[in-house]
Amino acid sequence: MASDVRNRDRRPRRVLTFLALLNALAALAGAIGLASGVLDLGPVVTPRLPWHSPVFAGIALAVLVAAPNAVLAAVALRRGRQTGLVGIIVGTAMVVWIVVELAFIRELSLFHPLYVCVGAVMVWAGAAVVRLDLGVTATSLAQELRDVLADVPRFLGAPLARRRHLRWGATDDEVAADLPGDDRVAHADYVSTRAIAIAAPPECVWPWLVQVGRGRAGFYSDDLLDNGALPSAQHIEQGWQQLEIGQWVPMAERITPRTAFRVAAALPPYELLWSKPDSTWSWRLAPTEGGGTRLVTRIRARYDRRNLGSWLSSLVLLELGDYAMQRRMLLHLRDRAERQQTADASLEGL
């Protein structure tokens, strides 16, 4: 009986591994065929490709399909804890790829519905692996998927609305004001100042900020993407309330100077600064009339153009991901603080 359960638990991981290897090999073969001219798309489809270029289509197929599936296969073969999460992302990307491809070539073949089904199976298998490896409930995982899907338009539209989203919710005075850490990153390539009003005093908002981090309370944002699918905390955890200058604020499972901030300065409960060698993330909690808080946050980041991998990852994370995820973080942080304030007021009235 126990052996049957173990085999059943391994099936989703085996499905992911098999499909990832198959997709990677098939996409790589297709990419080589397109780039070399061996694979001819014909006089109808070729003019519909970007720049009428099979070579560009081959490169896109290699980068957007073959490479992610190869990464998934490698993670799955190593039995990495992020196998399920990567499987969900790659499976979703497969479906998106087919939709985008159809939008360009405007010609349906048998392979299109087939690969949509393959992507859907990968999403299912990835979700099953996440539930087994991390103990995340199906309900939580479904909510995380809905959150990510709801933010897809914001991810894709962020470069088009850059000037506006860099100051989401902030007034002119808040954008112009000095914040802690402004002098730490000279010649920043990315500067965002965002703000939100919270119907709770700074003392009630502060504990939620102090406990932020991967392996801690999470980020109250798209947990599927920034917290390894683990749900962010819904309550203030006293074990995470200790705050010391120099302590890590992890952004990833592996803590390094590039994947984690350090607490650089703090003035409880009004100012908090996190810092990395190439960026700062500052917070200001200003009391407002009526006992509320005006929460202002600023990110200043400099892109490392000497390191191609670091530069590309910074572009993706900040230029595409930051707006949608920080917006959701601020909204969820507000909701948690206001809910806690209401609960505390109810207890005081008893």
What is the pTM for the complete model shown? Answer: 0.80
Annotate 265-322 with DSSP letters as a single string. EEETTTEEEEEETTEEEEEEEEEETTTEEEEEEEEEE---TTSHHHHHHHIIIIIIII
Alpha-carbon gap, residue 17 to 161, rounded angstroms: 38
- Structural contact between residues 333 and 208, judged by C-beta atoms closer than 8 angstroms: yes
Assign domain 162-348 to its CATH architecture. Answer: 2-Layer Sandwich (3.30)
Report d(CA 61, CA 292) in Å as an integer: 51
Contact status, residue 280 vs residue 184, Cβ threshold 8 Å: yes
pLDDT tens, the chain, 350 aa long: 434 434 456 789 999 999 999 999 999 999 999 999 898 888 888 888 888 899 999 999 999 899 999 999 999 998 887 899 899 989 988 998 898 888 888 888 888 999 999 999 999 999 899 888 888 888 898 899 899 989 999 998 999 999 999 999 999 999 999 999 999 998 999 999 999 999 999 999 999 999 999 999 999 999 988 998 899 999 999 999 999 999 999 998 889 998 999 999 999 999 999 999 999 999 999 999 999 999 999 999 999 888 887 888 888 899 999 999 999 999 999 999 999 999 887 777 65
Q: Are 247 and 259 in contact (CB under 8 A)?
A: no
- The domains of the chain are located at 2-135, 162-348
Closest CA to 230 of 10, 72, 82: 82
